[in-house]
Structure 1
Amino acid sequence: MADDPVLVLDPTASDHHAEHRALRARGPATRVDILGVTAWSVSDPGLLKQLLTSPHISKNARAHWPGFDDALATWPLALWVAVDNMFTAYGSDHRRLRRMIAPAFSARRVTALQADIEALVTGILDPLDALPAGAVVDLRERLAYPLPIAVVSRLMGVPEEQHAQFRTLVDRIFATTLSADEAAKNTAAVYDLLSELIESKRARPEDDMTSLLIATRDEEGDGDALSDSELRDTLLLMISAGYETTVNVIDQAVTSLLADPAQLAHVRTGRCTWHDIVEETLRHEPAVKHLPLRYALQDIPLPDGPVIRTGDAILASYAAANRHPSLHGDTADEFDATRPSKEHLAFGHGVHFCLGAPLARLEVETALRLLFERFPDMELAVPVAELAPYPTLISNGHTFLPVRLKPDGDVPR
């Protein structure tokens, strides 16, 4: 309600499910503090879908958020609202930028990547298969990380020697425990690396999306071409979104299946498919918990009385919305790959729906299928309660995922 105190979101997300329950209990939308910025967290899925498709809600902070200048100077998440790409674009600018990127994620292009993704997964699993029975492996580090990095790097033409740098810098973009100074230094470092990539591809173009975007940018007389900052920030969006989120979905899917072997049995007996597992993971533990930010272009009365005022910031709380009882009733907190409806907002909704969703689904489904075919007796090496959440209120994964791929009968359970 309007007179409720602002709920301060935990930057470490130490108990995000309890926090999401608290958000839902406060109504369809409630005021929260996200690292010092006040915003309306929207956790009701019906209201969230309404706002995500409203022409009266913008993602352009420069044009529509009175707090933009202060955020640039003091907010650790300033990059999230300052980037110059389709993530923050509104109206015709968003349509122009999305139209230029969409061909990279067409159904034909994604389908054509199937064989490459299978080969990548096989190459990642082969060294793991050589480990002795009973060996413990961090599957987040050994599978969930390297697969998306390899896929997006091939798509974008990122050389192998830059993979580790991009991973470190992107991880820090999604971090919510950095100071404003630390975040600003990370932003400078990632822009230096992107500039290096652009210069390299401009000098030696190849058959990749980065080279294509540069060629489009450099075309003379094209009023729709990318500006320098749009080129740089579009590359940042495609590399970061194409990597970080998929890591977490693989992590959460494996965790859910090993925590409840009955779900894996559903796949093996044909009661559900790997696609069902992926969709239920996206619903139950979406890769992104909260996504900053959107802004009201006019006063918006809420169903329970309060009003989102013109210029107020809005936080899409996808993870809380995905488990809302209005969508999935009393079983919303349960992972059930056989549930008839797995409706979720993991990829957003409306004009900003994630372009990379088909590719992410393909990567996760392929990784799960080949992983459990190779290691049918895999098990968690620690109780699920000991898996520490990744310390960020944006990303939704674990700090590590220790498993025994080939359990040894002599190893104590």
Structure 2
Amino acid sequence: MKIGVPREVKNHEYRVGMTPAAVRELVSCGHEVIVERGAGAAIGFTDELYRAAGAILADDGPSVFASAALIVKVKEPQPEERALLNAGHTLFTYLHLAPDQPQTDDLVKSGATCIAYETVTDDHGRLPLLAPMSEVAGRMAIQAGAHCLEKNMGGRGVLLGGVPGVPPARVTVIGGGVVGQNAVAMAVGLGAQVTVLDRNMAVLRELDQLYGNRICTLFSTTDTLERSVIESDLVIGGVLIPGASAPKLVTRDMVARMPEGSVIVDVAIDQGGCTETSKPTTHDAPTFTVDGVVHYCVANMPGAVARTSTLALNNVTLPFIAALANQGIVAALKANPHLRHGLNVCQGKITHSEVAEATGYAYTDPQSLLET
């Protein structure tokens, strides 16, 4: 199979869909991998390394799309990339379609087969291709939040861990999933006063067993959420409903009642954000202020640590890329129900129920399309 790896064109996105090591694996199986020149150069994966791994180098993105059947990326295709897709393509990348109607419409019109990393599942109902980026984003959320709390960034001028005689910052983490767990670990490590909210008691018990009285665990209700948010220096939004738009748990009223110079890091922004005042930002202009509260809502947070993120992502995507290439797209999707859960768009139809509900399309059972 011909596999294409274009350079990412999203603002300040330096990750790359396949490392030279991943390319070598696919080439050794008899596949042809076409990599756009400079695709990994920003993070030390030079064209020479790709050539040594057996890749064919293409001069630009359109050449990659024109040559390959399977397109492997990191972030959702930008408008200029979507224009290059057709029914002969399979796209394997993060999509986050629920809050992105223009992208959804374009992918449906393209006729391409589009598999989203973020909805591929495993035997335990987890999201293995989302997990490594959630780990990165959860850890980065505390790092970014601590920076935004500095006075020169518009924050309160609060040190996350405090110093002897001065209390640490109050950090609220909404959601005890992968993002939340990693945010808690970083915040506790830096000495913050941490509260984590979730509706899953098993998750709260696990966090309590790990950290004991170093954190406060709360069952999430409107009351506990409101009290925690309005008393916080830093709020981390880590809520996820796979494939669906994130629920708006933090209201505009709550934000208005937070201390002046406090910070919200909305990691759920890829799925629309879990705060009513959130809107996507970029690494060029990562923050904005509403009612005196600094909002950090970068939609590709892990792109800032692109080398670490690329290596972590390739560790989990490579087996699926190999399956698609070795078995063929249809056979691989038929054989693996977890990969099939990642199928969001196929033959001009929406094949993921939550995406269909969020974007107003009718849902089509992917199995019925694969059979035809």
Same fold per superposition (TM over 0.5): no
Higher helix share: 1
Structure with larger RCO (C-alpha < 8 A, sep 6+)? 1
Q: Using structure 1 for the length normalisation, give the TM-score.
A: 0.22
Higher strand share: 2
